[in-house]
Amino acid sequence: MSDFIRRWPITPLQKGSMTAVLELGALLGALGAGTLADRYSRRHSIFAACIVFSIGSAFQCGAQSLSHLFIGRAVGGIGVGALSMLCPLYMAEISPPEVRGSLMALEQFSIVLGVVFGFWTGFLTRSIPSSASWRIPLAVQLIPGAILGLGCFFLPPSPRLLVLHRRHEDALESLARLRMRTPEEAQEDPLLQIELLEMRVETTLVKRVIDDGVVDDNDQLQPWNLKAELYAWRRLFQRKYRDRTMVEWSGINALLYYGPTIVKSVGLRGDTVTLLVSGGIGIVQFLAVIPAILYIDRLGRKPLLRSGSAVMACSHLTIALLVSQFESDWAAHSTAAWAAVAGIYTFTAAYGVSFGPIGWVLPSEVFPLSMRSKGVALSTASNWFNNFLIGLVTPVIIELSPAATFMIFAVACTLAYFWSTYLVPETANVSLEEIDAVFKSSAGQEDAQLKRQIEEDLGLRDLIRELSS
């Protein structure tokens, strides 16, 4: 986009900073959204995040200086970060366990669809001689923001959050709507009654085990206060929750942010060729997400993570070796250059069926109700913080040593293989109320007896015995 370059010629560090400032805003948005989601509503928080995102997008589209772009990306990043935490959280809470993974993988599908659409919009407008060449792609992102914001008015509230707020009748009504039952049918449907009672059991267990100032003696939500908020966040770092937070240094964001730069580093030349090849990265990822949506609940999370991380590590290692061997004379080794491109595509496909969708699924599954919004917020924020670092340093280290860049990502993917092999439990087809048992955490063992007593008190065990007799 010659108009953009003419207006604001930027250094590699400025290029990295412009990319990274969105991730920094997303980090803040993800952390802040957890409190809003618990105190008010998942849906209303999503709507507010859409407004913030749209303000940031409008600021970028109308930018008159480089500082306007930085501000717009930071503000838009707050909305992106909040949405990246709120949407998986909401989907996890309204989905039945047997299809939860597939439904949540749709988030990654939508993200990749946006990446593909955004890239090729920029590709098609790049030759426009005016500022429209870059303002049009920035303006297009307002459309999905508006659609999601308006769609919030048609979404049912999260039944689990309603239970947390002691609104049991509203929770049953929302659950009936989600399971396609009428309010009258819900009163007589034993499966819905059991599902609602399981939610109530978990909430009551949280109240009896953890006194964090969030609810009072009558189980009513208290006004926000800083002490209770800090205590709730501190609990996330207790031993029983530490292994439920994930980070990501696979390299996918470096490819998406700096595709043309990285493609040039493996020997391809010519703006059209490098843009077409880097545009193919998004298309490969888009196609790879489709089988993940179809099979993530059948195959499970763990096998996909293990196989995906192994292929990703091998791909990065192969690229690093090819670059170190032939970067001094790519023109004489065009086959090696295209082999490196094949390695990039192989990595992207492996990521698309594994860490791409599962990175959104797992954080929303593994935390108990009392910690879910903040746990998802912390997991999402950790990813955005690492994306911030990747966005900031990639242009610089690519310029210093492309081979070292790919080697760093190869090491990260190797560590991801060991993480997914030895630390990640299988959560497919497990209800959110049973996750503690899957982790074999001390929380689950300590609370098992108390949970049984609560089930008796609330009548869940009586209902199950009645149905089985």
Q: What is the DSSP string of 186-200?
A: HHH-HHHHHHHHHHH
Same domain, 340 and 371: yes
Going from the C-alpha of 65 to that of each of 20, 364, 380, the distances in angstroms are 18, 39, 31
pLDDT at residue 213 in the model: 47
pLDDT at residue 327 in the model: 77
What is the residue type of 180? M
pLDDT at residue 33 in the model: 83
Inside any domain, residue 80? yes
Inside any domain, residue 373? yes
Same domain, 57 and 172: no
Is the per-residue pLDDT at 458 higher than 90? no
Same domain, 81 and 116: yes
Same domain, 377 and 403: yes
Inside any domain, residue 63? yes
Same domain, 189 and 275: no
Mean pLDDT value across residues 313-318: 92
CA angle, 403 then 408 then 414, to 5°: 125
Inside any domain, residue 222? no
Same domain, 202 and 131: no
Inside any domain, residue 349? yes
pLDDT at residue 381 in the model: 76
Same domain, 9 and 82: yes
Is the per-residue pLDDT at 451 higher than 60? yes
**By residue range, what is the domain housing residue 391?**
2-155+239-422
Among 418, 428, 421, 415, smallest CA distance to 358 is for 428
Q: How confident is the model at residue 428 (pLDDT cuts 50, 70, 90)?
A: confident
What is the residue type of 352? G
Q: How confident is the model at residue 34 (pLDDT cuts 50, 70, 90)?
A: confident
Is the per-residue pLDDT at 265 higher than 70? no
Cβ atoms 145, 50 nearer than 8 A? yes
| 83-133 per-position pLDDT tens digit | 988 888 888 788 877 777 777 778 778 888 888 888 888 888 888 888 888
CATH code of 336's domain: 1.20.1250.20
Inside any domain, residue 328? yes
Is the per-residue pLDDT at 196 higher than 70? yes
Is the per-residue pLDDT at 199 higher than 90? no
Same domain, 52 and 109: yes
pLDDT at residue 431 in the model: 66
- Sort residue 27 into left (φ over 0), alpha (ψ -120 to 50) or beta: alpha
Give exposure, 53-63, as e/b (b: 16+ Cβ within 10 Å): bbbbbbbbbeb
Q: What is 302-314 written as a DSSP string?
A: HHHHHHHHHHHHH
Q: How confident is the model at residue 46 (pLDDT cuts 50, 70, 90)?
A: very high
Same domain, 80 and 175: no
Average pLDDT of the chain?
Answer: 79
Weakest-pLDDT range from 164-173, 240-249, 265-274, 351-360: 240-249
Same domain, 166 and 133: no
What is the residue type of 341? V
pLDDT at residue 239 in the model: 59
Inside any domain, residue 223? no
Same domain, 139 and 184: no
| 202-222 per-position pLDDT tens digit | 777 766 655 544 455 555 555
Inside any domain, residue 270? yes
Same domain, 364 and 403: yes
User: Structurally, how many domains does the chain consist of?
Assistant: 2
Q: Which class for 84: exposed (0-12), middle (13-18), buried (19 or more C-beta within 10 A)?
A: buried
Angle between helices 168-178 and 190-209 (to 10 degrees): 130
